[in-house]
Amino acid sequence: PRSGRCRRRAGRLPDPLTACASPGQGAPSPAWSRPTWGYCSAMTDQGTRAEQSEGSLGGRLPAVHRYDDELARMDAVATIAALDRGDVSVREVVAAAVERARSLDPELGAVAFERFDAALSNLDSARPRRGGFHGIPTFIKDMVPVAGLPLTWGSAALAGGPPQRRTAGVARDMADMGMTLLGSSTMPEWGFTPSTEFPDRDPTRNPWNPRRSVGGSSGGAAALVAAGVVPVAHAVDGGG
């Protein structure tokens, strides 16, 4: 683990990739922001992220990923087990996911709006029970209200709207289970198309080949999980 962040116990945290891609009132100074980094379109042939790297996921890993992070190689089940054993803390898990999101989203464009600082500052590090989802970081698709975040359904028509006053629907359910909501993930306008592309900005990029866009309409969620940013993310399938 980098900089000794993860207190690994021998034989406790798995080395292999484990199912990584399994598939209020708004405050005057809102605790959210749309990521301002630009899409990094120039990927050099020498850059390791532009190459298909070797790993245990079918012999290779996505071109854009953070599976060098030990925590990114664990799915939600393995992360919960590590938390229960005390191998890693809730704060370490969430802070690592935030760091991965900040480092990868300039290339992916999968985060619609983020609340990283708010998530870390309001974090409850105590786990109420073993086996629960408390402390698992995730993103909510930009079609479900999350308190403090705008809600745009991927459409420029709703850009600039006020932050949501409350967290509702499945986002509330996931928060009630103890999951840490890091922000909202991208989707095509109104979820109408099967590709997460936009008329007014760069598309959400496919971690396996960032020269291509990702599918949809839960493209941001898929990209974030496939790249190892979070172990699980909210998604919706309108096609059944």
| Cα–Cα nearest to 174, from 151, 154, 153, 147 | 147
Structure confidence at residue 73 as a pLDDT band (50, 70, 90)? very high
Q: Please state, in angstroms and rounded to a whole number, the distance separating the CA atoms of residues 112 and 88.
A: 29
- Report which of residues 6 and 45 the model is more confident about: 6
Query: Is the pLDDT reported for residue 87 higher than 60?
Result: yes
**Cα-to-chain-centroid distance, residue 223:** 8
pLDDT of residue 6: 41
Q: Please state, in angstroms and rounded to a whole number, the distance separating the CA atoms of residues 126 and 107.
A: 34
How high does pLDDT run on average in the chain?
81
| Cα–Cα nearest to 2, from 94, 67, 79 | 67
What does the pLDDT average to over 21-34? 42
pTM of the prediction?
A: 0.78
pLDDT of residue 238: 72
> Tens of pLDDT along 89-146?
999 999 999 999 999 999 999 999 999 999 999 998 888 889 999 999 999 999 999 9
Question: Across-strand partners of 138?
Answer: 181
Q: Please state, in angstroms and rounded to a whole number, the distance separating the CA atoms of residues 14 and 216.
A: 31
